[in-house]
């Protein structure tokens, strides 16, 4: 009886505690009180995202609608605060307060092109992934998905629910300062990979973003640059990449760019936002401006811009006045709000709110290393210099590139803060260079030197910084093998003046190669570089910006633990003279735009015209059409084994079915990327060939496999300006298979009916 009474008292006590807990206010992990909102009809997950958005809009005031269509100002970039009381910004790139009474959460945005940016300001760790062009060099949709999934995971772990990554601008201009962020020069490859990346990211209930829409293929003068391009060329290159990425991913947001396109700013461009994005592609997400990229209220809203960032100069009080005055209709306003809310429901931002937690560092390490190992490209390997034999090699000289402390990364909004701070303090450029005005060169603490020592414990490994070519050459001469690390820094805001390695590194490589015939060059670059020393070295590995595990991944390839399989997503020209636009631009870089003596964008408008007169001939299509031989062609990449191709067959249908047999003829297991190209009928007036598909295949020595590639009609079509649609031209098509755009040993012809 006593025990029963004790149990009864305990039960009453527990019920009282539960009652008190239920009646007490709840708090977020940031200490902000959250009132319990009564259940709303739109919380029914059985309803479609469109239905749920419409139900919310019916309950919203005009001020609440306006609130969802603009950010809270630039200051959130600096310290996570604003002048508005109660704002709960996490200090990311952008912040839009939600509507608490309706259960609509804050939008917490972060730059996340290659990982979650600016974590150091929040005392948070983020995985620095290899660059976007390194990801693209894998040609692997699974790698791209994993890349996005990791970014989405770490965004949520830090409390963010929207990414500002997803760059897919085509590499028309090899000197573009943001080449490292993007996915290369081919729209089908770039669009496919960014689509998979966004799918992985949105799998984590984070709003994905594809940018910079559109034809924003250079950095100098980007706020005033007027990209001049004909409609067909735009549709078949830059826009095609966006179309594929948006269609394949169901991305939540598209960011319009700073530049003008044929005389109209991107963020109020009726053709791009309304006719293409809305009408032709049926995009269901929202359009957000690049930061400071909004230039009007009425024109932008009518064209299809939904959110102004980062502030409210045009979509705050001016938009409210425009709605009240009838310049922007209530229907238009509701459509803008609908797209924002629909996206939040569709991606799970509302149903699955982000809650900060500790980042899984080791998981990030594994993903970063996998991406780099799949994306590094072996460009030269004379006499099988690589892989190095760790058991027999006696001495190694490691030279240059700050290889003793880390690997370089790209700059700008994509910059992921290095764990433990930047180990390299100096900016790394000559005094007076315009690049010195940009942020310092940042390195991640993954020293290749340490990784080489770990792989070859019996060898004598010595390091030379490479500042003095003579002393570096002396070390190389006394070593069995010399490994030179050469770096090139790229950053948002400025294009490269040329494709040469900066800071006298060409002379360094030449001096080392003259002293040691077994010289290996490891490039850490954002894009293509010229190589006047190529014939003098024994091997070249392009590692791009290799991320937080770059040193380990590079060493794994150099010593054969990993067989390289990456292929170039961009063409490497022999010199700038071979490019469509050989001369560097006269447009000033962003830090110099307002400097005395330079062109005034409001007066000298012609200086800011960017004429894409190469038209359809982008990247490898330029070199093929003009019959120019590049240094390394698009799609090129060596392996430690060899592959042969046979039995190419093409079966017409709704999609072409292309099969080809690939055989590993070497002595090592390896992975090959079988590339499929098409030549259109002569009447199509297209460049000689275009990439239409590919497949990665793993093969043991002596093993053969038949790979199948399905080529959809869009990839074989041209854009018909009169119809405002893609069209399959009737006639005979050539289908090639091989391992690069310039090595296509197999060809068959197939006749297709027009559509």
DSSP secondary structure letter of residue 146: H
Q: List, in sequence order, every residue forming a beta bridge with 468; answer none if it has no partner.
A: none
Cβ atoms < 10 Å from Cβ of 65:
22
- Note the pLDDT tens digit of each residue in 697-751: 999 999 999 999 999 999 999 999 999 999 999 999 999 999 999 999 999 999 9
Q: What is the mean pLDDT of residues 570-585?
A: 96
Single out the residue of 415, 405, 418 nearest to residue 438, CA to CA: 415
C-alpha closest to that of 420 among 746, 128, 6, 51: 128
Spatial contact of 225 and 260, defined as CB atoms under 8 Å apart: yes
pLDDT tens across 155-188, in order?
A: 999 999 999 999 999 999 999 999 999 999 999 9
For residues 221 and 589, give the distance between their C-alpha atoms in angstroms, rounded to a whole number: 6
Active-site residues, by number, are 290
Looking up tokens 């603009």 gives 70
Architecture of domain 368-571: 3-Layer(aba) Sandwich (3.40)
Please state, in angstroms and rounded to a whole number, the distance separating the CA atoms of residues 371 and 367: 6
Which of 720, 714, 701, 621 shows the shortest CA–CA distance to 663? 701
DSSP track, 295-344: --SHHHHHHT--BB-SS-TTTSHHHHHHHHTTSS-HHHHHHHHHHHHHHH
pTM (predicted TM-score): 0.92
Tokens of 105: 């959460």
Tokens of 250: 């169901």
Rounded to 10°, the helix 317-324/330-347 angle is 130
Return the CATH fold of 643-752: Immunoglobulin-like (2.60.40)
Helix/strand/coil (H/E/C) assignment for every residue in 14-69: HHHHHHHHHHCCEECCCCCEECCCCCCHHHCCCCCHHHHHHHHHCCCCHHHHHHCC
Q: Is 481 within 8 Å of 442 (Cβ atoms)?
A: no
CA distance 68 to 65: 6
The fraction of the chain above a pLDDT of 70, given in percent, is 90
**pLDDT in the model for residue 119:** 85
Instruction: Name 423's Cβ contacts closer than 8 Å, sequence gap at least 6.
Output: 402, 405, 406, 443, 445
For the stretch 467-518, pLDDT in tens is: 999 999 999 999 999 999 999 999 999 999 999 999 999 999 999 999 999 9
Q: How confident is the model at residue 82 (pLDDT cuts 50, 70, 90)?
A: very low
Q: Is 453 exposed, middle or buried (0-12, 13-18, 19+ CB in 10 A)?
A: middle
Between residues 38 and 118, the one the model is more confident about? 118
Please indicate whether residue 3 or residue 655 has the higher confidence score (pLDDT): 655
CA–centroid distance for 438 within its chain: 20
Contacts of 297 (CB under 8 A, 6+ apart): 314, 315, 318, 319, 322, 327, 328
| Bridge partners of residue 102, in order along the sequence | none
DSSP annotation of 501: P
Task: Please tell me the distance from the alpha carbon of residue 579 to that of residue 365, in angstroms, as a whole number.
Answer: 37
Tokens of 340: 């924002």
| CATH number of the 59-347 domain | 3.20.20.300
How deeply is 392 buried, as exposed, middle or buried, from its count of CB atoms within 10 A (0-12, 13-18, 19+)? Answer: exposed
Residue 32 is predicted with a pLDDT of 44
**pLDDT of 16 above 50:** no
Q: What is the pLDDT of residue 85?
A: 46
What are the pLDDT digits (tens) for 593-635?
555 666 777 777 788 999 999 999 999 999 999 999 999 999 9
How far is 134 from 149, CA to CA, in rounded Å? Answer: 16
Q: Where are the domain boundaries for CATH 3.40.50.1700 in the chain?
A: 368-571
Report residue 88's pLDDT band, with 50, 70 and 90 as the boundaries.
confident
pLDDT at 10: 44
Return the percentage of the chain with pLDDT > 90, whole number: 85
Strand, helix or coil for residue 683: helix
Q: Which residues of the chain form CATH 3.20.20.300?
A: 59-347
pLDDT at 604: 74
Q: What is the pLDDT of residue 29?
A: 37
Q: What is the pLDDT of residue 34?
A: 44
CA proximity to 201, closest of 68, 77, 354, 306: 354
pLDDT for 439: 58
pLDDT of the residue at 137: 99
User: What does the chain come to in residues?
Assistant: 755
Q: Which residues contact 33 (CB under 8 A, 6 or more apart)?
A: 25, 26, 27
If 0-12 CB within 10 Å is exposed, 13-18 middle and 19+ buried, where does residue 40 land? middle
- pLDDT given at position 754: 85
Strand stretches in 122-268, DSSP E: 162-163, 209-213, 226-228, 253-256, 260-261, 264-265
What pLDDT is stored for residue 599 in this prediction? 72
Q: Residue 72 above 50 pLDDT?
A: yes
pLDDT at 587: 84
| Burial group, residue 584, by CB count within 10 angstroms (0-12, 13-18, 19+) | middle
- The answer, yes or no, to whether residue 26 has pLDDT greater than 50, is no
CA distances from 23 to 15, 28, 32, 34 (A): 12, 16, 17, 13
Phi-psi region of 111 (alpha: psi -120 to 50; beta: other; left: phi over 0): beta
Please report, to the nearest 10 degrees, the dihedral formed by the alpha carbons of residues 311, 317, 323, 325 taken in order.
Answer: -140
Domain with CATH 2.60.40.10 in the chain: 643-752
Beta bridge mates, 109:
94, 162
Q: 154 or 84: whose pLDDT is higher? A: 154
């Amino acid at each position: 009886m006593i025990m029963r009474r004790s149990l009864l008292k305990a039960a009453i006590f527990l019920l009282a505690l539960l009652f008190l807990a239920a009646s007490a206010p709840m708090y977020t992990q940031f200490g902000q009180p959250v009132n319990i909102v009564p259940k709303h009809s739109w919380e029914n997950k059985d309803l479609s995202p469109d239905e749920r958005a419409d139900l919310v809009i019916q309950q919203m005031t005009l001020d609440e609608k306006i609130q969802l269509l603009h950010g809270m100002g630039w200051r959130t970039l600096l310290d996570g605060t604003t002048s508005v009381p109660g704002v709960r910004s996490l200090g990311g790139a952008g912040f839009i307060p939600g509507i608490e009474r309706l259960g609509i959460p804050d939008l917490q945005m972060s730059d996340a092109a290659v990982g979650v940016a600016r974590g150091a300001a929040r005392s948070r760790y983020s995985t620095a992934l290899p660059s976007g062009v390194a990801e693209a060099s894998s040609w692997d949709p699974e790698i791209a998905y994993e890349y996005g999934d990791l970014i989405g995971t770490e965004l949520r772990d830090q409390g963010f629910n929207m990414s500002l990554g997803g760059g897919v601008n085509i590499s028309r201009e090899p000197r573009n300062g943001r080449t490292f962020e993007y996915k290369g020069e081919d729209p089908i490859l770039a669009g496919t990979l960014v689509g998979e990346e966004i799918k992985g990211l949105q799998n984590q209930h984070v709003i994905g973003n594809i940018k910079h829409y559109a034809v924003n293929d250079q950095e100098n003068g980007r706020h005033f640059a007027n990209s001049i391009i004909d409609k067909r060329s735009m549709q078949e290159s830059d826009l095609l990449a966006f179309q594929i990425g948006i269609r394949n991913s169901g991305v939540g947001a598209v960011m319009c760019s700073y530049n003008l396109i044929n005389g109209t700013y991107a963020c109020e461009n009726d053709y791009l936002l309304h006719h293409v994005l809305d009408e032709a592609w049926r995009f269901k997400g929202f359009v957000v401006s690049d930061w400071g990229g909004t230039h009007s209220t009425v024109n932008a809203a009518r064209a299809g811009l939904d959110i102004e960032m980062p502030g409210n100069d045009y979509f705050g009080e001016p938009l409210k006045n425009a709605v009240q005055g009838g310049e922007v209709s209530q229907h238009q306003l509701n459509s803008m709000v609908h797209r924002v809310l629909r996206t939040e429901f569709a991606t799970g931002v509302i149903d699955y709110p982000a809650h900060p937690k500790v980042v899984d560092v080791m998981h990030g390490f594994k993903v970063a290393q996998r991406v780099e190992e799949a994306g590094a490209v072996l460009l030269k390997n004379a006499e099988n210099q690589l892989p190095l034999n760790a058991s027999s090699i006696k001495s190694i000289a490691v030279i240059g590139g700050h290889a003793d402390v880390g690997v370089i990364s790209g700059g700008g909004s994509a910059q992921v803060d290095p764990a433990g701070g930047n180990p390299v303090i100096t900016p790394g450029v000559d005094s007076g260079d315009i690049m010195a005005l940009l942020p310092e060169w940042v390195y991640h603490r993954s020293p290749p030197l340490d990784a080489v020592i770990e792989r070859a414990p019996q060898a004598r490994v010595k390091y030379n910084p490479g500042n003095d070519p003579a002393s570096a050459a002396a070390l190389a001469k006394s070593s069995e093998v010399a490994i030179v690390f050469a770096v090139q820094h790229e950053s948002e805001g400025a294009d490269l003046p040329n494709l040469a390695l900066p800071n006298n590194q060409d002379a360094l490589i030449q001096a080392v190669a003259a002293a040691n015939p077994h010289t290996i060059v490891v490039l850490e670059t954002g894009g293509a570089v010229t190589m006047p020393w190529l014939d003098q070295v024994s091997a070249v590995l392009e590692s791009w910006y290799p991320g937080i595990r770059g040193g380990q991944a590079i060493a794994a390839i150099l010593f054969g633990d990993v067989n390289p399989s990456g292929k170039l997503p961009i063409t490497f020209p022999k010199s700038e003279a071979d490019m469509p636009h050989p001369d560097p631009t006269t447009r000033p870089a962003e830090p110099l735009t307002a400097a005395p003596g330079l062109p005034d964008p409001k007066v000298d408008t012609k200086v800011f015209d960017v004429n894409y007169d190469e038209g359809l001939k982008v990247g490898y299509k330029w070199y093929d059409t003009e019959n120019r031989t590049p240094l390394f062609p698009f799609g090129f990449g060596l392996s430690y084994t060899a592959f042969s191709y046979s039995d190419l067959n093409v079966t017409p249908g709704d999609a072409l079915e292309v099969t080809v047999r690939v055989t590993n003829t070497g002595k090592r297991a390896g992975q090959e990327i079988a590339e499929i190209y098409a030549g259109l009928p002569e009447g199509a007036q297209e460049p000689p060939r275009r990439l239409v598909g590919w497949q990665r295949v793993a093969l043991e020595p002596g093993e053969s496999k038949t790979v199948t590639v399905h080529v959809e009609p869009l990839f074989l079509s041209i854009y018909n300006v009169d119809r405002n649609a893609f069209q399959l031209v009737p006639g005979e098509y050539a289908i090639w298979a091989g391992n690069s755009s310039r090595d296509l040993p197999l060809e068959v012809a197939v006749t297709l009916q027009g559509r």
